[in-house]
Amino acid sequence: MTVIERSLPYSYSHLEKAAELTLEKEPFTYVQSGAGAEVTLRANEEAFERWAIVPRVLKDVSSRNLSANLLGTHLPSSFMLAPIGNQGILHDEGELASAKAAAAFGVPFIASTVSTFSLEEIAAANGDGSRWFQLYWSSDFEVTASMVQRAETAGYSAIVVTVDMPVVGHRERDLNYQYFPLALGKGAANFLQDPVFQSRLSKSPVEERDVALAELLSVFFEPALTWDKVQELRKITSLPILIKGILHADDAKIAVDLAFDGIVVSNHGGRQLDGCFSSLDALPAIADTVKGRIPVLFDSGIRRGADAVKALSLGADAVLLGRPYVYGLAAGGENGVKHVIEQFIKDFDSAIALTGLTKASDANRSILRKVN
Ligand SMILES: Cc1cc2nc3c(=O)[nH]c(=O)nc-3n(C[C@H](O)[C@H](O)[C@H](O)COP(=O)(O)O)c2cc1C
Ligand SMILES: O=C(O)C(=O)c1ccccc1
């Protein structure tokens, strides 16, 4: 399948630039920035430069299988689109454009709790595509339960509980601009359209939007969340449950012991705790602990095909693509996301062949060396 929007650039840095030229400075900064001095944001990318692929040759790579299958979901190229909230600040069609683009390539889409469009609207745009729902656990448990049930009804096939945001990271550049999309209502649709959330209000969100947004902010964070509480999700849904935001091998062990269905090794793209471990550096010990008992997904720093090869070699079963696709969204809407997906698949395919592999799932540590 060849698309698309030839005016869009091919490299990550140029895509970022294209997004910067399209957007106002506040929404661009919101996407690009990280917490604190952005040490972790930089470390996520730099960690990939400390691993080098040592390719094998003469392996007949004429036919290649890039796919992964996990938790009943088919990933044609071993990656999914990461949950990214508030996409309406980047393009009017927001998550609808991204979910359509993902479906066109059969790439699974993970919809965020704080999407600009509701999970039902995203499901309609995603159509026959495959999709998971990312859950931010609300301190109003009945709202959490209602959202999970809605996701199940709307054809989402797994729940990804993000646990690295008991509070929001100290994002200095957003603070400088005093720019907080959730407070502006840019990621409120799943709440405003939720019947349980609406029942908490004396007037409808349309009549009293400010009151509704204040209620949203008051129930959004749940700093008291624990492993025990997350386990209660089992009573509400039969869908697979993954835990996103794992960096410590001991937490990976707890996730396995408590029979969660998968984990996402992630530091939220350097947006939460600045100074924490890069995601790639965290991966090997986690993979050694999990030992294949549950799927290990990975994000934070994936920019190119070879990055995905490295993450798979260090023990990930699949990766999530984050900032690259939303820069495509900002610069070119649905076609921009298609462009990014298409190029990422081509790059990944080429990297697999040049590594001397015919199956992405065969990637392992024998083809990697630590450098520097
Ligand atoms: C603008 C933006 C919004 C995000 N929103 C969410 C979200 O709503 N839920 C979530 O679990 N992660 C969210 N993330 C984190 C991503 O899912 C992913 O972990 C991160 O983007 C990976 O880093 P990378 O994009 O630098 O590779 C967001 C990231 C960005 C850049
Ligand atoms: O920006 C984010 O990373 C994010 O997920 C978020 C969601 C809600 C409030 C603040 C940040």
Tell me the per-residue pLDDT of 166-205, one tens digit each, with 9 for 90 and over.
999 999 999 999 999 999 999 999 999 999 999 999 999 9
Q: Please report the pLDDT score of residue 246 as a whole number.
A: 99
The pLDDT tens digits for 258-270 are: 999 999 999 999 9
Q: Please report the pLDDT score of residue 5 as a whole number.
A: 46
> Is 42 inside a domain boundary?
yes
> Is 154 inside a domain boundary?
yes
Cα(322) to centroid of ligand 1, in Å? 6
> Is 3 inside a domain boundary?
no
- How large is the average pLDDT for residues 287-298? 99
> Both tokens of residue 316?
């990930």
> Is 1 inside a domain boundary?
no
The pLDDT tens digits for 215-263 are: 999 999 999 999 999 999 999 999 999 999 999 999 999 999 999 999 9
Domain membership of residue 314 as a residue range: 12-370
Q: Judging by beta carbons within 10 Å of its beta carbon (0-12, 13-18, 19+), is residue 1 exposed, middle or buried?
A: exposed
Which ligand has the shortest distance to the CA of 162?
Answer: 1
For residue 6, name the pLDDT band (cuts at 50, 70, 90).
low
Which ligand has the shortest distance to the CA of 299?
Answer: 1
CATH (domain of 20): 3.20.20.70
> Is 4 inside a domain boundary?
no
Cα(13) to centroid of ligand 2, in Å? 23
0.80 cut: is pTM over it?
yes
Residue 339 catalytic? Answer: no
Tally of structural domains, the chain: 1
> Is 6 inside a domain boundary?
no
Rounded percentage of the chain residues whose pLDDT exceeds 90: 98
Residue 219 and residue 159: Cα distance in Å, rounded? 20
Closest ligand 2 atom number to CA of residue 30 = 1
Cα(315) to centroid of ligand 2, in Å? 27
